[in-house]
Amino acid sequence: MSDKIPVTVLTGYLGAGKTTLLNRILSEPHGKKYAVIVNEFGEIGIDNDLVVGADEEVFEMNNGCICCTVRGDLIRIIDGLMKRKGKFDAIIVETTGLADPAPVAQTFFMDQDVGERARLDAVVTVADAKYLTQRLKDAPEAKNQIAFADVIILNKTDLVTVAELDAVEATIRMLNPAAKLHRTTKCALPIADVLDRNAFDLDRILEIEPDFLEEGHHHHHADDIRSMSFEIRGDVDPDKFMPWIQELTQVQGPDILRCKGILAFKNEPKRFVFQGVHMILDGDLQRDWRNDEARVSRAVFIGRNLDRDAIRKGFFATAA
Amino acid sequence: MTVTAPVSLTQHVAELEAGEHVIAAAWLGAVPALALSDGAVMVGAQDDQSRVDVHGAAGLLTAVAVGGHLFTGGGDGRVCSIDAHGQMKELARDARGGWIDAIAATPAGAVAFSVGKRVTARDEKGVLKQFEAPSTAQGLAFAPKGYRLAIAHYNGAALWFPNTSTPTQLLEWKGAHLDATISPDGRFVVTSMQENALHGWRLAAKPTDKVAHMRMSGYPAKTRSFSWSHDGNWLATSGAEAVIIWPFQGDGPMGKAPRECGVRRAKVTQVTFHPGAYVIAAGYEDGCILLLRLTDGSELLARPAVKGSGITALSWDRPGKRLLFGCADGQAGLLTLPA
């Protein structure tokens, strides 16, 4: 395991319960020390020397790529914190309710100094079971946060009926079928479900579910965020796949929030795993395919304005 | 031509135990001082050494030494000065207790610091003036003459005159600017950038002149340390696997190639020009320190590579006879050049 400091990003629309979750993490007797980067001082009820105020400054990188944005304040704060290595075990970044998680995530891949010393562990989104459906209609930020998440905490479940809860979970699943979802009241859940998830570690991408909501996709509007997953029952030709995925993420990167895949490459005993944030792609060969495993190639894309048929066609054309 | 072993100065280094990541190395007159990430400043060396707790558990974030004083900024929002006797004085305090992001000072004792966008200048009489930058003020540098401050921020730099009604001059260039420096003759403002490059502006000599831009790129990493030669003719920079030295004679470095000294398979993290000669002390990410002569590129070894002990601070004393250094793992040392 690397000695990079894990960083957990907490997102969620205003009032969903981010601060409740943060206070819970900080107050439990886990014996760990967290440095916390917050936007509003004073909300945290815990004494902690390592609480730092951030101002969510988003910088565009001068590389001609409009989606390549980083959080300048985060670069500076992590640089400062790393000079005090050993004083804390992990970093938690709480974003404002209106924040886009992408620049936060991209900071860990685009900034060399940050990437060498810290690793993005997971994006955790807290959602309000009662109001999420409404927020998804009127707040694009809320939709982004759900679509981007690795872990979704569907909170305040005591304020809705079981039927309402199932409905909101189904809505979430249309946006993001891959995230781990936990139903909670007052954000009560084991901290291990939130921290140390290694969601961006290629070695931890174990399974990609087939698209169980395939039938529902026609209800989406074209400008909506949606997820799509595809499966090739067999091998993929890397000489076809690599140029295709690179071009797709270059051209449609601004609209692709997240992508992930596990592929069987022709004549390759190991699984190829990739994941991406907008235009940033990361991929590597992982463990061997097991004998009891079918060699199938699956990929998931979450984004807006994505042409499902074109992506499906493009992906299937890479079959070996 | 004769082949000789590289000359080593390592036997002239006295080790110092700082114990914490060294933020800055400084000389308070003839007394060495190390600013440490745990909020303390170590004043003196060997038997005559004391630790002054300046910022406590909130930590010390940034420090600069000018005119016999060390000015420090902390995670507690305080700005303090420490003298050669270890006397500490609080100069200013951010109302909201935010992190001090950058600090600069003049030999006369004026100090400037930033917290987010808020820049505060405190002149030598203690008069405070404030300026709000368009975005976070990441780097500050005083001009050598006049009470004038360069402020590096997103999409450019500002030249602010805290005590006059002269309007702030905005120097624009797209991108995130990190640290700032002004040439000893006051003609050039140079910033380091998020995109592994430097940007320079040649300031107008007359109001009718245009500001000229200089783009210095090609670095594999960010430049976080730069140093002017004593005559202002050269600017040494970190961020590559060699010290990159830009010529600033005449109109500046445009169209001229920079010099490269001390090429190694490790990135340079700290550079500092000798106060009276064309000699650069260069610290590397792997802990090595070399003294490099600009005229012929000759090298002297001051510290071999030490795992995990990257160089984070370097400072020559005023006569240029002693070099103080500090490292990421809390090691430090004092090189005394043989007579």
Q: With an 8 Å Cβ cutoff, are A62 and B101 in contact?
A: no
pLDDT tens digits for chain B (339 residues)? 455 555 799 999 999 999 999 999 999 999 999 999 999 999 998 788 999 999 998 899 999 999 999 999 999 999 999 999 999 999 999 988 889 999 999 999 999 999 999 999 999 999 999 999 999 999 999 999 989 999 999 999 999 999 988 899 999 999 999 999 999 999 999 999 999 999 999 997 777 778 889 999 999 999 999 999 999 999 999 999 999 999 999 888 988 999 999 999 999 999 999 999 999 999 999 999 999 999 999 999 999 999 999 999 999 999 999 999 999 999 999 999 997
Strands (E), chain A: 5-12, 34-38, 51-53, 58-60, 69-71, 90-94, 118-128, 151-155, 180-183, 225-232, 256-264, 270-277, 280-288, 297-304
Quick one: DSSP state of residue B57? G
B/e letters for A205-219, b = 16+ CB within 10 Å, e = fewer, are beebeebebeeeeee
Global confidence as pTM:
0.88
Quick one: DSSP state of residue A254? G
Fold for B114-218, please state it. Answer: Neuraminidase (2.120.10)
- Residue B339's pLDDT is what? 79
B/e letters for B127-152, b = 16+ CB within 10 Å, e = fewer, are eebebebebbbbbbbbbeeebbbbbb
Q: Which CATH superfamily is domain A225-316 in?
A: CobW-like, C-terminal domain (3.30.1220.10)
Taking domain A5-200, whether its CATH number is 3.40.50.300 is answered by yes
Q: With an 8 Å Cβ cutoff, are B99 and A80 in contact?
A: yes
- Give me the residue spans of the domains in chain A: 5-200, 225-316
The residues pairing with B273 across neighbouring beta strands, listed in sequence order, are B280
What residues of A are in contact with residue B136 (Cβ under 8 Å)?
55, 57, 72-73, 76
Q: What is the DSSP string of B187-241?
A: -EEEEEETTTEEEEEEPPSSTTSPPEEEEE---SS----EEE-TTSSEEEE-SSS
Q: Tokens standing for A305?
A: 């304005």
B:35-74 residues touching chain A, CB 8 A cutoff: 37-38, 57-59, 61
> Which residues, at least 6 apart from B19, have a Cβ–Cβ distance to it below 8 Å?
B36, B38, B330
- Give me the residue spans of the domains in chain B: 114-218
Min Cα–Cα distance to chain A from B203, Å: 24
CA distances in angstroms from A27 to A301, B58, B164, listed in the order given: 37, 20, 51
B:173-202 residues touching chain A, CB 8 A cutoff: 174-176, 193-195
Q: With an 8 Å Cβ cutoff, are B221 and A112 in contact?
A: yes
If one counts every other C-beta atom within 10 angstroms of the C-beta of residue A134, the result is 11
Looking at the partner chain, which of B37, B174, B176 has a beta carbon nearest the beta carbon of A83?
B37
- Residue B3's pLDDT is what? 54
- Residues constituting chain A: 320
Q: Tokens standing for A151?
A: 């872990």
Furthest CA-CA distance within chain B:
65
Q: What are phi and psi of B156, to 5 degrees?
A: 145, -160
Contact B222, B178 (CB under 8 A): yes
Contact B73, B100 (CB under 8 A): yes
Query: What is the block-wise mean pLDDT of chain A (320 residues), using blocks of 10 residues?
Result: 85 89 88 86 60 85 75 94 90 90 91 93 95 89 91 95 95 88 94 89 68 44 73 94 94 89 94 90 90 91 90 94
- Residue B4's pLDDT is what? 56
Report the SS3 class of residue A170. helix
Q: What is the DSSP string of B3-24?
A: --PPPB-GGGEEEEE--S-EEE
Complex ipTM value = 0.90
User: Residue A35's closest chain B neighbor by CA?
Assistant: B58
- Residue A43's pLDDT is what? 56
Left, alpha or beta for B287 (phi > 0: left; psi -120 to 50: alpha)?
A: left
